[in-house]
Structure 1
Amino acid sequence: MKLKLEKLEEAVKNHAGIFNCVQIHHEHNTKTVSFQHEYASPASHKEIPELGKLHDFYDTFGSLLLYSCAKSNDAAVYVGAPGEWASLRTNFNGWIEDLSEEERSDYLPEWVDTCIVIGEIPRTGNYLLMATAGVEAGRIFEFEHDGFEFIGLAKDIEEYIYKMLKPDGPALLGIASHMRFIEANTSSQWWIRELVINDGYVVTTE
């Protein structure tokens, strides 16, 4: 049975804030960047597994883009619509399809062939996965291609989104590692030093 995640929906809608940044290689220059969260209305979807609160999530959001910054086209994470899962899977497979059997045994978790690729970390080649088999079923992982790691993030999609709305220092560091806020007609790159949320929560990358 589907159950709309009303508290999560309100948390996303009410969540706002800024990134306080310094210019890379010129830290005396500072910049404040506002962000927003973009989401599509839920639609009717078939064949969504009954695990990891996926049904409930997609009864709440059609898709979800977190920490979107329009001027530079940066974002922290994208959870795609179910209709995008196949193309996301194809892109993810590009990283693993040429591995030998020995390499697959060494580098890949047992659940990788049946997992759902539900999203991506924009502009990175890293992907958001949900395991669908074994003891990890329903859990959210990030595939980090630089190092070929599968990093456990949360017990389900709801917990993952809540963690992203209030990231700790290491999580913010991960966000900062790929968001550079490069705007048109400039090559300046910016490093997130601090995230300030409208409920008073502050976290830094230092």
Structure 2
Amino acid sequence: MSLKRLRLAVDDLLVRFAEKFATQKLKHLFLLNNCDMAISILKEAGEEAKELRRYFEEKLESNLVSFVDELLMEYFGDLIKFVKNHISEDLISYTECPNIADVEPVVKNFAVKWRTALELMHNEVVTCCSNFVSGMAILKAAMAQLLNDYNRLSECVKMIPGGSSLNRNLVSITSISYEIRKYSRTL
């Protein structure tokens, strides 16, 4: 059996098994862990499996991005939805012009739950990942995305008329970064 046929068979099997999971997040996690395992095995195979390993690395990366999106939606859904629906990537324009009434519940909710949500997210990643390095990559990607989205929200608040009234509820980027560093060291 050629390596290409083997890849197709393994890929098909993994996708069929992944479909058995109830949520997208669990499907991506299953594929992440199994792609990571395949990569580990293929590293031992040497140069002849380099192309096959590259395929599973790409698959791992795409599932990592999807898993991070699902993870952040679970713990910071209102923030993620707000940023996606209202703020462009460049922070210069809005996809939908927000007002103080739209932003206030998002800012206040984040201020109340962000530390607990970070801890829960960290614990989930630590217990779900079969590989320390992959777990660290997932956690770093999730926390970097969270920091980026929260920064975009903070900048949005500054630009909204009357947004300064929410300044007392905004968590500083420094505080979030400090907590992220704590979790990065413990994984």
Q: Which has the higher helix share?
A: 2
**TM-score over 0.5 for the alignment?**
no
Q: Specify which structure has the higher proportion of strand.
A: 1
Larger Cα-atom Rg = 2
- TM bucket (normalised to shorter chain) is under 0.3
